[in-house]
Structures are given as C-alpha cells and as structure tokens.
C-alpha cells in the first residue's frame, strides 16, 4: 500500500465518522421533536379539560385558588416608588416594552405582552415549530451530504482507475497538511543529442601500432558544427595513466545529415587501449549518442 492509498483510507475513515455523527444527531433531533409534539398535545388537552372560572362581579377574572376580595372595603393602594410618583406628577407614562425575549441566547423567541395569552401561546407554538422544522431540514441535508461523501469515497477506493485518479489530489492534501514530505524538484532535462558517434574498443594492430577509428554523424535537422575534433583518452601500458589525444574529424564542418571520421595511430608498446571519446565543436563539448559500429546509423 502506498502513501496515497493510506491517505485515502484515512479520509474515508474521517468521512465515515462524520456521516455517523450526522446520522446520530439527526436521529436525536427527531426524538426531541417527537417528545416536544407529545408534550404540546398533552398541554393542549389539559387546557381544554380545565374548567372556566366564573367572572367576578367587578368584571375581572380571578383565579380558582385566589381568595375572594370584599367589595365593601376598598383595598389599600399599593405604595409606588419615588420615580413612579414623579412621572405621574409630571404626566409622563411609564415605558413598558411591548415584547421581550424568552431567553438570553441568540435565536430565542420574542414574547409579547400586548396580545392575549391564548394568541400569544399559539404564536409562540407556531414559531417554535417553524424553528424546529428548519433545524430538521438542515440536519437532513447535512446527513444526505455526509452519506454522499461516504459513498463517493467508498466507490473511489473500490474502483482502481478512480483511486489512481484521486491519488495526486490525496498527495496534495497530505503535503498541505504536513503529513507527506514535499516532492523532490524535477530533474533538469538532458541536453539534446545532435551527434551520433560510433567507435569500437577493439582497435586494429599492425606492425606494432594501434589504430583508433570512429565516425561522427550530425543527426540534427538544422544545426551545423564547425571545427569538429575528437578527444581520446588513451591508457598507457606500463603506468596505466591516461594520455589525451585530440584528433580532427574529416571533414571539420558537419552539416545536417553529414558524416565525418577520425583516426589516430599510436605505438602498441606504449598504449593498450582507449578509455573514452569526447567530441568538440568550436572549442566546446557536444553531447552525442553512442551507437555500435555494426548498427546502421539512424535516419
């Protein structure tokens, strides 16, 4: 398993955990909504079965357990604070807000004092049901999105072409998160091979002398090389040291498709072979492609 596959499996595990959390939250919200509806139905039934209180002689409804107030003796006036007496004396009415929040948190319902209790309860119940319905829709959409992500990652891991296509993206995410090391810089492109050189390490030996030969072919389509030379690294027989010989290529000017040859002869008692060959054109080394002498030159 490669690092990209491991990262894909980690992402799959995270998606599965997120999907399970969303499903659990959605189910808990459904249970809470069911309990809220049941409590609302019980409260409505209890309010419907509560007996209606008879109005008092003064026209003000009184509670069932409240004691009866005698109409003959006037009730003492409640003591008002100094600020209220001042406002009454000046003629400024007391500012009472028509609505207040039911709680201090964000999204709490507004409770109005200007509406009758029955209408206020109905309005609060309707707004609460709308709020719960919006939350249920949000949870349902989140659960569907989590299920879609989980299904997509599962398909991506089971189908090899899709997994191969997602590996670069997973590697990019791993590099961004610091889980994977950054890729190494790209290697520089090799220089173009404009020459084709063929030579053999089996040299000709005649009369105690060694002859080294080779051919140079210009395979570029538009370049022309001037002052072409071949540099040979000859190995001495006794000391095994390297001696460099520079020999001209005939012709010294090679146009596109032209072939030149070089040849050098040394005493066999002093040298035993050639180590490498460099091609120089205009005093600079030119990279080439080596081919065997038996192989036909490329077109």
Running DSSP on this structure, what letter comes out for residue 91?
T
CA nearest neighbour of 199 among 129, 247, 132: 247
So what's the pLDDT on residue 72?
44
Tell me how far apart the alpha carbons of residues 12 and 6 are, in angstroms, rounded to a whole number.
Answer: 10
pLDDT in tens, 186-218: 888 777 788 888 887 667 777 788 889 999 999
So what's the pLDDT on residue 135?
83
Token code pair at residue 153:
């990652």
So what's the pLDDT on residue 87?
47
pLDDT in tens, 137-178: 888 888 888 777 777 777 777 777 877 887 788 788 878 887
87 Cα distance to chain centroid? 66
- Count the helix, strand and coil residues of the chain and give each as a percent rounded to the nearest 5: 40, 25, 40
Decide if pLDDT at 278 tops 70.
yes
pLDDT band at 71 (very low <50, low <70, confident <90, very high): very low
* CB contact burial 186-195 (16+ within 10 A = b; e otherwise): eeeeeeeebb
Q: Are 26 and 140 in contact (CB under 8 A)?
A: yes
Q: Are 218 and 254 in contact (CB under 8 A)?
A: yes
Running DSSP on this structure, what letter comes out for residue 154?
H
Running DSSP on this structure, what letter comes out for residue 225?
B
Cα-only R_g, the chain: 49
Backbone angles phi, psi at 7, to 5 degrees: -65, -35
pLDDT in tens, 205-257: 777 888 899 999 999 888 999 999 999 999 998 888 999 999 999 999 999 99
pLDDT band at 79 (very low <50, low <70, confident <90, very high): low
Decide if pLDDT at 110 tops 70.
no
Average pLDDT over residues 34-49: 66
So what's the pLDDT on residue 250?
94
Beta bridge partners of 218: 195
* Span of 17-21, 54-58, 175-179, 236-240 with lowest mean pLDDT: 54-58
Burial (CB count within 10 angstroms: exposed 0-12, middle 13-18, buried 19+), residue 84: exposed
Backbone angles phi, psi at 206, to 5 degrees: -135, 125
CA nearest neighbour of 4 among 165, 215, 140, 143: 165
- In this structure, the chain runs to a length of 299
pLDDT band at 122 (very low <50, low <70, confident <90, very high): confident
Percentage of the residues of the chain whose pLDDT score is greater than 90: 18
Where are the domains positioned within the chain? 1-42+103-183, 195-291
Higher pLDDT, 273 or 75: 273
CA nearest neighbour of 126 among 40, 34, 42, 49: 40
Average pLDDT over residues 36-48: 65
* Dihedral-angle region of residue 20 (phi above 0 means left; psi in -120 to 50 means alpha; beta otherwise): alpha
Q: Angle, to 10 degrees, between the axis of helix 3-49 and the axis of helix 160-177? A: 90
Higher pLDDT, 165 or 70: 165
pLDDT band at 84 (very low <50, low <70, confident <90, very high): very low
The pTM for the full model equals 0.40
CA nearest neighbour of 23 among 141, 129, 155: 141
Backbone angles phi, psi at 14, to 5 degrees: -65, -40
So what's the pLDDT on residue 279?
94
So what's the pLDDT on residue 292?
85
Higher pLDDT, 32 or 45: 32
Q: Which of 28-42, 83-97, 170-184: highest mean pLDDT?
A: 170-184
Higher pLDDT, 211 or 99: 211
Average pLDDT, the chain: 74
So what's the pLDDT on residue 232?
93
DSSP characters over 283-296 = TEE--EEEE-TTSP
Percentage of the residues of the chain whose pLDDT score is greater than 70: 67
Running DSSP on this structure, what letter comes out for residue 74?
P
CA nearest neighbour of 229 among 266, 274, 281: 281
Tell me how far apart the alpha carbons of residues 237 and 166 are, in angstroms, rounded to a whole number.
Answer: 61
Does domain 195-291 fall under CATH 2.60.40.10? My reply is yes
Q: Are 238 and 280 in contact (CB under 8 A)?
A: no
Decide if pLDDT at 123 tops 80.
no
Residue carrying structure tokens 């191969």:
164
């Amino acid at each position: 398993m490669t690092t990209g596959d491991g990262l894909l499996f980690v992402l799959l595990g995270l998606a599965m955990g997120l999907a399970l959390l969303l499903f659990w939250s959605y189910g808990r919200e459904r249970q809470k909504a069911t309990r809220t509806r049941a409590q609302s139905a019980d409260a409505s039934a209890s309010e419907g079965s509560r007996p209606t209180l008879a109005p008092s002689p003064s026209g003000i409804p009184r509670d069932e357990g409240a004691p009866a107030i005698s109409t003959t003796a006037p009730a003492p006036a409640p003591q008002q604070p100094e600020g209220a007496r001042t406002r009454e004396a000046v003629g400024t009415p007391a500012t009472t807000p028509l609505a207040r929040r039911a709680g201090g948190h964000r999204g709490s319902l507004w409770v109005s004092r200007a509406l009758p209790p029955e209408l206020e309860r109905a309005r609060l119940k309707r707004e609460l049901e709308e709020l719960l319905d919006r939350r249920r829709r949000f949870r349902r959409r989140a659960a569907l999105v989590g299920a879609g992500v989980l299904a997509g990652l599962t398909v991506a891991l089971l189908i090899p072409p899709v997994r191969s296509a997602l590996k670069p993206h997973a590697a990019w995410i791993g590099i961004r998160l610091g889980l994977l090391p950054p890729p190494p810089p790209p290697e520089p492109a090799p220089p173009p091979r404009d020459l084709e050189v063929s030579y053999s390490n089996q040299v000709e030996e005649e009369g105690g002398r060694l002859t080294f030969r080779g051919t140079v072919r210009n395979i570029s389509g538009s370049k022309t090389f001037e002052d072409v030379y071949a540099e040979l690294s000859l190995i001495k027989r006794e000391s095994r040291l390297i001696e460099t010989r520079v020999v001209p290529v005939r012709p010294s000017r090679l146009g596109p498709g032209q072939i030149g040859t070089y040849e050098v002869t040394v005493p066999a008692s002093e040298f035993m072979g050639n180590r490498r060959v460099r091609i120089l054109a205009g005093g600079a080394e030119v990279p080439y492609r080596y081919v065997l002498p038996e192989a036909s030159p490329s077109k």
